[in-house]
Chains A and B, each alone.
Chain A
Amino acid sequence: MLIDWFTVVAQALNFLILLWLMKRFLYAPILRAVDAREQRIAAELKDAEAKQSEANKEREDFERKNEVFDQQRADLLRKATDEVESQRKAMLDQARTTADNWIAKRQQALRTEADGLSRTIEDSARSEVLAITRKALQDLATTDLESSMAEILMRRLRALDGQSKADLVAALGPASTAPIVSSAFVLPPQKRAAIQQLLLQLFGSNAPLRFEIRPELVCGIELSVNGQIVAWNVDGYLQSLRKEIERIASERTSSATAAVVAADGQGGLPGKDARPPDTEVAEDPSTAAAAPVQVSAA
């Protein structure tokens, strides 16, 4: 018989024992490990997915921030460029203004220098002309000329009227000092007598005259008593001539200044009313020329 029933039973028992042992030592732990691994992998995949989505979100966030940052940077750059441009323009304007001012000052200085130089030349020319005239008149001055000048003085005395005459009369009063007749040369005796006679005739004064020689009068004659002076000399004409020259020079300076102002197109330069202090305002030439005889208080 091929079947041994004891062995059959024993083998069946053996198989059941093996089944139990294998279940305990093989299948359960292996399946547990596999399940744990699968769970872990699933968890890791889920975690990775979560991280992926988070990373995507952060990347989008970052990109948005980057965009905003780029925008801000562009804005700042544009703003800075604008500011620099405006500043550059302002600085250029300032530099231009400064340069213009400097040029204007330089031109003014040059003009002032030129004016000063021309004035110096004019002054010296005027002085030279006056000196030449004075010298020529001194050369021409003779006794006849003195007689003529005495005649002119007498004519002036006769022409006095009004307040001037009253003042002179008062000065020639009884308590007066001796009237002084000054001239560059000695007057002839007959002329001295004629003047004395004229004073008596016109002003009722017979106070004795004193005659003095004053070469600085050049070509002139002068009667002075108690501070009142009646005089005629060439110096008056020369003074008038000087004033006329000064007036012409001043006018030329004014017109040149006005031309510069018009060329500059702006203020800051002295106008017509702001002349240099040494520039005299010339009087009417006719008035100036017609005042060679001075009656003034000494």
Chain B
Amino acid sequence: MHLSPDAIVYWQFGLLKLNATIVFTWAIMLVLVVGSRWVTRKLSMGLERARWQNLLEIVVIGMTRQIADIGLQQARTYLPFLGTLFLFLAAASLATIIPGFEPPTGSLSTTVALALCVFAAIPIFGISKQGLAGYLKSYVEPTVVMLPFNIISEASRTLALAVRLFGNMMSGTMIIAILLTITPFLFPVVMTVLGLLTGMVQAYIFSILAAVYIAAATHSSKSKTAATASGSA
């Protein structure tokens, strides 16, 4: 029994190796990209549209609104990053229903990689939005004393992001695997359904947290200015 799909290695050449995490990630990527391409190859601009196009529109518009609800203006700027994050995690969680499928999110390597992407994206979006000085200034808010705490917070929340997702996904598959040996038949099915729910919730939480962090990085000084203005008024 493997704790992580990283342990399943299909092919290795020196440092290069092809483990289950990468293979199943490619599989999810293939499904997502090919499905998107297939649906969007003949998009209708009119009022009549295909049901798959309708589904994708609902998903895309829903994600855009969710991003906007969090407080990110120009939600479409962040849609590719946050949307892809959510879709990948959701697809990985949903795919657990397929027998023999090892979710790549059950690997700490994958969650760390995604958390690092978020960790990198936060300053990129923050700097592009407020400039380097504006972004760096957010680390000394409200006082310079908070600088180390801010840095620790930045690092720890990235770690928490990675570990939370990994723990949930790994525990889900582990619980099912353990239950299969103890109480076969009905109970693992219930747990699989529960795993689907928790997987979706975790995908949502991961994406929302990423959005919140980005929003904090892009909005900090602006929201503070607005708060000061309203306070003085």
Is A9 part of the contact surface with B, judged by Cβ < 8 Å? Answer: yes
Once the chains bind, are B3 and A6 in contact (CB under 8 Å)?
Answer: no
Which chain A positions have C-beta within 8 A of B108? Answer: 2-3
The contact string, 1 if C-beta is below 8 Å from chain B, for chain A 1-38, is: 01111111111101111110111011101111110110
Which residue of the partner chain, among A9, A15, A37, contacts B88 with CB atoms under 8 Å? Answer: A15
Whole-angstrom distance between the alpha carbons of A8 and B56 in the complex? 29
Which chain A positions have C-beta within 8 A of B4? Answer: 2
Report B111 CB to chain A, min CB distance, Å.
Answer: 9
Is B98 part of the contact surface with A, judged by Cβ < 8 Å? Answer: no
Stretch of B75-83, B144-152, B179-187, B213-221 with 4 or more beta carbons under 8 angstroms from chain A? B75-83
Is A40 part of the contact surface with B, judged by Cβ < 8 Å? Answer: yes
A-B Cβ contacts below 8 A, count: 125
Stretch of B32-40, B124-132, B193-201, B222-230 with 4 or more beta carbons under 8 angstroms from chain A? B32-40
Say whether, besides A11-B104, A19-B80, A26 and B29 are in contact (CB < 8 Å).
Answer: no
Which residue of the partner chain, among B16, B40, B46, B88, contacts A18 with CB atoms under 8 Å? Answer: B88
Whole-angstrom distance between the alpha carbons of A30 and B59 in the complex? 10
Report B94 CB to chain A, min CB distance, Å.
Answer: 16
For chain B, residues 133 to 186, give those with C-beta under 8 angstroms from any C-beta of chain A: 166
Report B119 CB to chain A, min CB distance, Å.
Answer: 11
Report B155 CB to chain A, min CB distance, Å.
Answer: 15
Report B133 CB to chain A, min CB distance, Å.
Answer: 27
Find the A residue at minimum CB distance from B3. A2
Report B27 CB to chain A, min CB distance, Å.
Answer: 11
- Chain B positions within 8 Å of A, measured between CB atoms, are 3-4, 6, 15-17, 19, 21-22, 25-26, 29, 32-33, 36-37, 40, 43-47, 49, 53, 56-57, 60-61, 76, 79-81, 83-85, 87-88, 104, 107-110, 112-114, 116-117, 166
